[in-house]
C-alpha cells in the first residue's frame, strides 16, 4: 500500500507541482487509510474495494471526526483511487462512489476592530523580537495572509512604496495583496531596528522577511505561538493566525469593500469560499440594529 501512496505523492509533487503543505496533508490522510486497511487485514492496494472505502468513511465518523476531516480524508482517498485506476492498479476506481459528507456553514471567529487594535497595542515592544512580532501581526491582519504565506515572504516580495506584497498561496499560486499603512510602518521599523539583530547569516535565510533568533526563516509553529501569545496579552484566548485573516476580510466587507476584491486579496479560487463573510456581515448588521434601533427589542 505504501509504495502506491509514495508514487501518488511523487506524481503530485512532480507533475502537479503541489506544495509541501499539500503533500503533507495528503500523506497524513492516506496514512490513516493505510493503517485502517491494515487493521482490516488489507495490506495491498489490489485488495482494496468499495466496501473497504465505505467502511473507512463510517469508521472516521464513529471515531468522532468532524465532517470537514472526513471529507478531506475521503477526498484524498478518491484522488489516490483515481490515480491508481489511470495507472492500471487494483480493482478500478473503488472510491468514486463513496459519498462525501455535506458541510454546514461554520462561521469563523472574528474579532471587533477594537479588539484587533488592542492586540496591536499590547504587542508593541521595542526589542528585536517585539518589532518582528508587531510587523508579523500587522502583516497577517493588514494583508489577510495565511501563516504559511507570511513565513514564505521574501524581501523581494515586498513593494513597500507601492503598498503591496507578492504572496505565494495554495498550489504555489501568486497574488499581490495590499499592505495597510500600519503594516508598512511596522515592517519599516522592523527592518531598521529589529531584523538586523536576527540576520547573522548562520540560518542561511537572508531572503526571508521574518527571521528567528538563529537567522533562519520563521516557522509556522512559531507564527502560531506569537499570535496566541499576542492574544493572551490582550485578554483573548486561543487566538490563531487565521482569525486575523478572517478579521481582515470581515472588516473590509463591513467597510464597504466589494466581495470580488476580497476574493482577490485572500486568494480564494472560488467566490463561494469568500461568500461566508457575507453571513458574518449580516450578523454584524443585525447586532448593530438590535443595539441601536429604539424598537428593535420590542415584542408584539
Note the pLDDT tens digit of each residue in 29-61: 999 999 999 999 999 999 999 999 999 999 999
How confident is the model at residue 108, as a pLDDT? 62
Which residues are designated catalytic? 146, 170, 242, 245, 268, 277
> Which residues lie below 8 Å from residue 38, measured CB to CB, with a gap of 6+?
1
Residue 274 banded pLDDT, cuts 50, 70, 90: confident
Average pLDDT, the chain: 87
Give per-residue burial for 161-200: e unless 16+ CB within 10 Å, then b. Answer: eeebbebbbeeeeebbbbbbebbbebbeebbeebbeebee
Q: Are strands 158-159 and 174-178 parallel, antiparallel or unpaired?
A: unpaired
How confident is the model at residue 64, as a pLDDT? 87
- Greater confidence, 70 or 272? 70
Measured N-to-C along each axis, helices 276-292 and 241-254 cross at an angle, to the nearest 10 degrees, of 60
Q: Which three cell numbers stand for residue 26?
A: 495528503
Tell me the C-alpha distance between 112 and 81, whole Å: 45
Nearest to 118 by CA among 239, 5, 30: 239
The angle at the Cα of 100, spanning 95 to 101, to the nearest 5 degrees, equals 150
Q: Is 166 helix (H, G, I), strand (E, B) or coil?
A: strand
Measured N-to-C along each axis, helices 128-143 and 241-254 cross at an angle, to the nearest 10 degrees, of 50
User: Average of pLDDT values for 48-76?
Assistant: 91
Where are the domains positioned within the chain? 2-87, 113-290
Q: Is 213 helix (H, G, I), strand (E, B) or coil?
A: coil
The CATH architecture assigned to 113-290 reads: Orthogonal Bundle (1.10)
Find out if CATH 1.10.150 is the number for domain 2-87: yes
Tell me the C-alpha distance between 123 and 134, whole Å: 6
Amino acid at each position: 500500500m505504501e509504495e502506491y501512496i509514495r508514487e501518488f505523492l511523487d506524481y503530485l509533487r512532480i507533475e502537479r507541482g503541489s506544495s509541501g503543505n499539500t503533500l503533507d496533508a495528503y500523506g497524513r490522510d492516506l496514512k490513516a487509510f493505510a493503517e485502517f486497511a491494515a487493521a482490516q487485514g488489507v495490506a495491498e492496494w489490489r485488495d482494496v474495494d468499495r466496501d473497504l472505502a465505505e467502511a473507512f468513511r463510517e469508521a472516521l465518523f464513529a471515531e468522532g471526526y468532524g465532517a470537514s476531516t472526513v471529507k478531506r480524508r475521503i477526498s484524498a482517498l478518491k484522488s489516490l483511487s483515481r490515480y491508481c485506476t489511470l495507472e492500471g492498479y487494483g480493482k478500478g476506481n473503488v472510491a468514486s462512489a463513496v459519498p462525501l459528507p455535506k458541510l454546514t456553514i461554520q462561521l469563523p471567529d472574528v474579532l471587533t476592530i477594537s479588539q484587533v487594535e488592542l492586540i496591536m497595542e499590547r504587542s508593541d515592544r521595542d526589542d528585536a523580537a517585539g518589532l518582528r512580532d508587531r510587523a508579523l501581526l500587522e502583516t497577517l491582519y493588514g494583508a489577510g495572509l495565511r501563516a504559511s504565506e507570511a513565513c514564505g515572504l521574501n524581501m523581494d516580495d515586498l513593494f513597500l512604496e507601492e503598498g503591496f506584497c507578492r504572496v505565494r498561496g495554495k498550489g504555489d499560486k501568486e497574488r499581490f495583496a495590499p499592505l495597510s499603512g500600519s503594516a508598512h510602518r511596522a515592517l519599516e521599523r522592523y527592518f531598521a531596528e529589529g531584523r538586523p539583530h536576527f540576520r547573522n547569516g548562520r540560518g542561511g535565510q537572508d531572503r526571508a522577511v521574518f527571521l528567528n533568533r538563529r537567522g533562519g526563516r520563521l516557522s509556522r509553529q512559531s507564527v502560531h505561538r506569537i499570535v496566541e501569545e499576542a492574544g493572551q496579552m490582550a485578554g483573548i484566548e486561543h487566538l490563531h493566525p487565521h482569525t486575523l485573516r478572517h478579521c481582515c476580510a470581515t472588516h473590509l466587507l463591513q467597510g464597504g469593500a466589494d466581495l470580488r476584491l476580497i476574493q482577490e486579496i485572500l486568494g480564494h479560487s472560488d467566490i463561494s469560499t469568500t461568500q461566508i463573510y457575507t453571513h458574518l456581515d449580516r450578523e454584524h448588521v443585525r447586532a448593530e440594529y438590535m443595539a441601536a434601533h429604539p424598537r428593535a427589542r420590542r415584542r408584539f
